[in-house]
Structure 1
Amino acid sequence: MPAESPDRPPDGAPDASDGARSSRKRLIGFLWAVLTVSIFAGWFVVTRFSVTRSLNVWDLTALRYGIGAILLAPVLLRDLPPKAWRNGFIFSVLWGAPFAAMVALGVQMTSAGRAASVTPTLMPVFAGLLGWLLLRQPPGRARLAGYAAIAAGLCGLVVSASSGGVAPSLLGLGFLALAAAMWAGYTLLLRGSGLNPMQSAALICFWSGLIFVPLYVVLGIGHLGQAPTAEIAVQGVYQGVLMSIVALISFNRAVTLLGASAAAAMIALVPVIASLLAIIVLGEIPTAAEGISIAFIVAGVLLATRPTPASGRG
């Protein structure tokens, strides 16, 4: 029997290069997720800035998907199969204009800060539960503990926000929770759709723009004519470029590289980054209770993003 080459691992032994590639893949996925989280966190601050001044949430939604649809139109000129268009329509329902409307209603009935704490935080919990129920992918004990910590942090943020004497709107919180469930459904469907991140982003913007923008014009619900040009330009770049294109693509890449549950859990860091931005931009310093709640969320994210062993046990 010929001797095994010393440079070749025995049959069944893990290849070091495979481990290195896996680690590099997770690192790249993590960086994509960080970019997504940064854009999402800034979105709540930028949106709050305008909706309390000249523009309303419908203006921002029209800018987001109208500009995104125009800029990404060349992607759709390629030969896409009918299934891609159907998947794109479903994605636009889950993470397009209806999703933005749910968040907008939640922001209107609660606050931008509460929306940043509720929707991104609940999304990984819904993603894990939906994956468990529909795809028979049990999250394992570590991820379940992470989801519990995220939920505990969310409850702490809501309770601490209520301590000022104004109770949060239950209906508004319901809209935000529904948006989180829609977002989670999108993350689970994306990986098996056969669409790359650019195609998914283009189709979401196309269907959302096609349906929402005509309604926006016909119903006359916009305030663009009353807003300063500079503010419209800033919102056009943030909503139409960063949110509609960069954030969609970066999040899709994170889902592809990290998996739906891990990428969704990373999004739970949005309220953490949003709190830091609020300190820097708005001078809003979180209370001790809010700080403890955020610490629970961070701990939950660390647990929920742990690699899942091949056995499926977390």
Structure 2
Amino acid sequence: MNERPAIAKAAALPDTKAILLGVACGLGAALCWALGFVATRHGLRVGFTPVDLLMHRFLWSGIVFLPLVVRAGLRDLCGIGWGRGMALMLLGGPVMSLISYAGFMFVPLGHGSVIQPSCATLGGLFLAVVLLKEAVSLSRAAGAVVIVVGLAVIGSESIGHMGPSAVIGDLIFVATGLMFAGFATLVRYWRVSAFSVASVISVLSLSLFPLYAASGGLARDASIGLPENALQAIAQGILAGPAAMYLFAVSIQRLGVARAAVFPATVPVLTLLLGWLLIGEPPTTLQAAGLAAVLAGFYLAQRQR
């Protein structure tokens, strides 16, 4: 009599474990990305340049992924193709990262960590309609409008209180967000593995290291000290790169794309919280208001109806 409930309970247990694992990995990925943003802001404060941070971002992950890429084959670039690989590298690789790092020289953490993912979402919705021919639901359209309102609130702080340089910083993050939207859309359009793309970009970026070393970058890093370099190597080269990518991939496998898409939307909140706790940079009232609007927009944009 009690066999069926017992069997049902046993069958449900693995699903529950899978969901919990997916949630844990999704939150872990969001935390890694947020720590990457905070480490960028801290690194610029202690004397690193955007180029130095770029080196930490791709050198270590490139070394890790090099054997995998060589084993998969360089002739067709792991099945991606050199033409597509270079296009994806331009949109989602060192160029985008360098511009993004530079943006934090003009605006505080509360701007870059919200504007970039917001514009990535808006650009992704637009390109999904134009390139992928996807239908946009009323909820997603409303979400896009609410996100724009949130961005306008944050942008008003730059225009009214921070000056022209802050406007430049905001526009930089608009550009990098749209670049990432183009990158993500092409990954979907060409149906290539996101993990393979990230691995290839990291390995191809190793070609920039000799130029970095020749320009005196290593001497500049040495002058800042080992602890700060180790911090950036961990935050940029491991957490914000391979670790976040792996955790998010596991989250997608366990929860599905739609559910896992919730976790990147938590990155702005985690970034502002960690920025406040770790580097003493609390969000302003306008930043908090803009973030609240953006989060509401994220929620609407991710709904299926």
Q: Cα 1:305–1:195, aligned 2, differ >3 Å: closer, same or farther?
A: same
1:76 maps onto 2:69 in alignment: yes
2:124 counterpart residue number:
127
1:117 and 1:213 mapped to 2: Cα distance? 30
Q: What is the letter of the counterpart of residue 121 of structure 1?
A: S
CA contact (8 A) 1:158 1:168 kept: no
Relative to structure 2, which stretch is displaced further, 84-93 or 58-67? 84-93
2:173 counterpart residue number:
176
Q: What is the letter of the counterpart of residue 103 of structure 2?
A: G
1:258 counterpart residue number:
257
CA contact (8 A) 2:158 2:166 kept: no
2:97 counterpart residue number:
100
Instruction: Give TM-score scaled by structure 1 length.
Output: 0.79
Gap runs ≥5 in structure 2: 1-14
Question: 1:64-213 maps to which residues of 2 (within 5 A)?
Answer: 64-80=57-73, 82=76, 83-86=79-82, 87-210=84-207, 212-213=208-209
Instruction: Give TM-score scaled by structure 2 length.
Output: 0.81
CA contact (8 A) 1:266 1:301 kept: no
1:23 and 1:149 mapped to 2: Cα distance? 34
Please give the per-residue CA displacement for 1:182-238, whole angstroms capped at 9, x wherever unaligned: 11112122235454343222101011222x323322333552121111111111111
2:189 and 2:17 mapped to 1: Cα distance? 23
Question: 1:240-259 maps to which residues of 2 (within 5 A)?
Answer: 240-251=237-248, 257-258=256-257
Please give the per-residue CA displacement for 1:127-181, whole angstroms capped at 9, x wherever unaligned: 0001111111122110111111122112212223555453554433332212111
Q: Cα 1:184–1:32, aligned 2, differ >3 Å: closer, same or farther?
A: farther
1:11 counterpart residue number:
none
Structure 1 position 279, deviation (Å): 2.6
Relative to structure 2, which stretch is displaced further, 236-245 or 275-284? 275-284
1:234 and 1:67 mapped to 2: Cα distance? 13
Q: Which has the higher helix share?
A: 2
Please give the per-residue CA displacement for 1:261-290, whole angstroms capped at 9, x wherever unaligned: 983x75343222211112322344434433
Relative to structure 2, which stretch is displaced further, 289-298 or 63-72? 289-298
Q: What is the letter of the counterpart of residue 140 of structure 2?
A: R
CA contact (8 A) 1:162 1:168 kept: no
Gap runs ≥5 in structure 1: 1-21, 309-313
Q: Cα 1:258–1:32, aligned 2, differ >3 Å: closer, same or farther?
A: farther
1:49 maps onto 2:48 in alignment: no
Percent identity between the aligned chains? 24
